[in-house]
Amino acid sequence: MKANAQTEAAVMDILDRFANAFAKQDLHALIALFTPDPNVVCIGTEADEKCLGPSEIRTHFERNFAQCEDLSLEWGWSSVSALDSLAWMAAEGVAHLKADGQETHTPLRLTAVLERYEQKWAIVQMHCSTPDNVQAQGRSFPVPATTAMSPN
């Protein structure tokens, strides 16, 4: 269900505040965007970045900040839907970062579920990923360079 204009604006404001807090490495502002519920979930782009609860999310972002000299998020396409006190969104963008002296520009995808919590929207679940660029454009799955022989 497409969100109404007011809800869409509020959810996109959360996304913009997330990008601004991340760029400023403002841990307090970043954590404030999430619900304090112990079941809040944040999944990052790396295999071990699966966080449950505010404490694990805090540790996750502290690690991000410790490993990155500079970061900005630039959003492009987005979609926001809602029903009652829940909203869900998806966005694509680019993460511009500098780590270990190297600049990188990485495509980014983000999905999030938000709940209207104490008269404001708060993130209850977030998942960030980078599109797999192993397979050719238009392919759904990577094709191995060599096919292993099956034993007979």
Whether residue 20 is predicted with pLDDT greater than 90 in this model: the reply is: yes
pLDDT in tens, 53-100: 999 999 999 998 898 888 899 999 999 999 999 999 999 999 998 888
Q: All domains of the chain, ordered by start, with CATH?
A: 5-129 (3.10.450.50)
Write down the pTM of the prediction.
Answer: 0.84
Q: Determine the average pLDDT of the residues in 24-52.
A: 93
Q: Is 65 left (phi over 0), alpha (psi -120 to 50) or beta?
A: alpha
Q: What is the mean pLDDT of the chain?
A: 89
d(CA 43, CA 45): 7
